[in-house]
Structure 1
Amino acid sequence: MNDSGIEGRGEMSESDIARGQIDKLRPLPRISIQAFFETEGLLRTIERCGEDRRMAKVNLRVNKGGLPAAINMFASHPTPNLIILESDGDRATLLGELEQLAEVCDASTKVVIVGHQNDVGLYRELIRNGISEYIVAPVSLADLIGVITAIFVDPEAEPLGRTIAFVGAKGGVGSSTMAHNCAFAISNLFSEEVILADLDMPFGTANINFDQDPPQGMSEAVYSPERLDDVFLDRLLAKCSERLSMLAAPSMLDRTYDFDPSAFMPMVEVVQRSAPVAVLDVPHIWTDWARNLLSSVDQVVITAVPDLANLRNTKNMLDVLKKMRPNDQLPHLVLNQVGLPKRPEITPADFCDPLGIEPIAILPFEAALFGSAANSGRMISEIDAKSATAETISQIAHVVTGRAEAKKRKKSGLPDLMSLLGRKKAAR
Structure 2
Amino acid sequence: MTGPSKKTERETFAAYCCDEATIDLLKAAAPSRGWSENMVFSGGIAGAVRALGAMPCPEFLIVDLSDSEDPRADVQALAEVCEEGTVVLTIGALNDVGLYRDLLHAGVHDYLVKPLAVDVIKAAMHSAEEAMNAVEEVEEEGPASEGKTIFFIGVRGGMGTSTLAANTAWLSANGGESTALLDLDFHFSSSAIQFDLEPGRGLLDALDNPNRVDGLFLDRAVVKPSEKLSILCTEAAIGVVPRPAEGALEHLVDTMANTYRNVVVDMPRHMVPEQPEVLNTATDIVLITDLSLSSARDCIRLKAYLKTCAPAASVHVVLNKLGAVPAEVEEKDFANSIETEINARVPFDAKAMLLAVQQGTVIADHTKSGKVTAGMKAVNSLFTSGSENADGQKPSWVNKLLQRKAS
TM-score by length of 1: 0.55
- Could you tell me which residue of structure 2 aligns to residue 370 of structure 1? 353
TM-fit CA distance, 1:380: 1.1
Question: Secondary structure, in 3 states, of the residue corresponding to 2:242?
Answer: coil
2:201 to 216, 222, 227: 216
| Distance in 2 (alpha carbons) for counterparts of 1:332 and 1:231 | 33
Question: Secondary structure, in 3 states, of the residue corresponding to 1:340?
Answer: coil
- Could you tell me which residue of structure 1 aligns to residue 301 of structure 2? 316
Alignment of 1:192 onto 2:169: no
| Distance in 2 (alpha carbons) for counterparts of 1:181 and 1:334 | 14
Alignment of 1:98-247 (within 5 A): 161-189=147-175, 191-247=176-232
Residue 217 to residue 161, structure 1, CA distance change in 2 (3 Å): farther
Q: How large is the Cα RMSD of the aligned pairs? A: 3.1
| Distance in 2 (alpha carbons) for counterparts of 1:207 and 1:109 | 39
- Could you tell me which residue of structure 2 aligns to residue 387 of structure 1? 370
| Contact 1:218/1:250 (<8 A) preserved | no
Alignment of 1:59-70 (within 5 A): none
TM-fit CA distance, 1:339: 2.0
TM-score by length of 2: 0.58
Task: Percent identity, please.
Answer: 27
| Distance in 2 (alpha carbons) for counterparts of 1:306 and 1:255 | 35
Alignment of 1:217-366 (within 5 A): 217-260=202-245, 262-286=247-271, 288-329=273-314, 331-341=315-325, 343-366=326-349
TM-fit CA distance, 1:215: 3.4
Unaligned runs of 5+ in 2: 1-68, 78-102, 110-127, 136-145, 388-407
- Could you tell me which residue of structure 2 aligns to residue 396 of structure 1? 379
TM-fit CA distance, 1:379: 1.1
Question: Secondary structure, in 3 states, of the residue corresponding to 1:302?
Answer: strand
Question: Secondary structure, in 3 states, of the residue corresponding to 2:296?
Answer: helix
TM-fit CA distance, 1:166: 0.6
Greater gyration radius: 1
Unaligned runs of 5+ in 1: 1-78, 84-107, 112-148, 405-428
Question: Secondary structure, in 3 states, of the residue corresponding to 1:212?
Answer: coil
Q: What is the one-letter code of the residue matched to 2:278?
A: L
Q: What is the one-letter code of the residue matched to 1:318?
A: K
| Distance in 1 (alpha carbons) for counterparts of 2:210 and 2:75 | 31
- What are the Cα deviations for residues 70-89 of structure 1, in whole angstroms up to 9, with x where unaligned? xxxxxxxxx96799xxxxxx
- What are the Cα deviations for residues 344-382 of structure 1, in whole angstroms up to 9, with x where unaligned? 522221111111211221122222222332354311122
Q: What is the one-letter code of the residue matched to 2:318?
A: V
Question: Secondary structure, in 3 states, of the residue corresponding to 1:400?
Answer: coil
TM-fit CA distance, 1:214: 3.6
| Distance in 1 (alpha carbons) for counterparts of 2:208 and 2:75 | 37
Question: Secondary structure, in 3 states, of the residue corresponding to 1:359?
Answer: coil
Number of aligned positions between the proteins: 261
Residue 161 to residue 221, structure 1, CA distance change in 2 (3 Å): farther
